[in-house]
Amino acid sequence: MSEHADIVAVQYPRGITALVWLDLSTGVVATTHAGLRHTLRRGLRNWAGHLVTPREGYAFLSAVYDHFFLSGYRVHWLSVSGLNSIRHTYRV
């Protein structure tokens, strides 16, 4: 992960937080949750109901936010600089 990213933090009901981010320098989407990676690879529907895939970068990250928000999860959008390591990452 480069130092600059937009991150969607999804809080699951049992206290786990999964991060999904778009690396702004490479355009790669990744997550900290292995199980979520498989769901994300299939693509998600955005607010308008259109299927968006990880290759669509920023639009996909926005669809991740929409999908989890509409499913009733607590979701937060963060833009960070200076973040350079997360222990477990899974490329979507």
83 against 27, higher pLDDT: 27
Confidence of residue 6 (pLDDT cuts 50, 70, 90): confident
In DSSP terms, 31 is beta-bridged to 20, 90
Structural domain boundaries in the chain: 4-82
Give the tens place of pLDDT for each residue, 19-74: 999 887 788 898 989 889 999 999 999 889 999 999 999 999 999 999 999 999 99
Q: Is the confidence at residue 2, as pLDDT, over 90? A: no
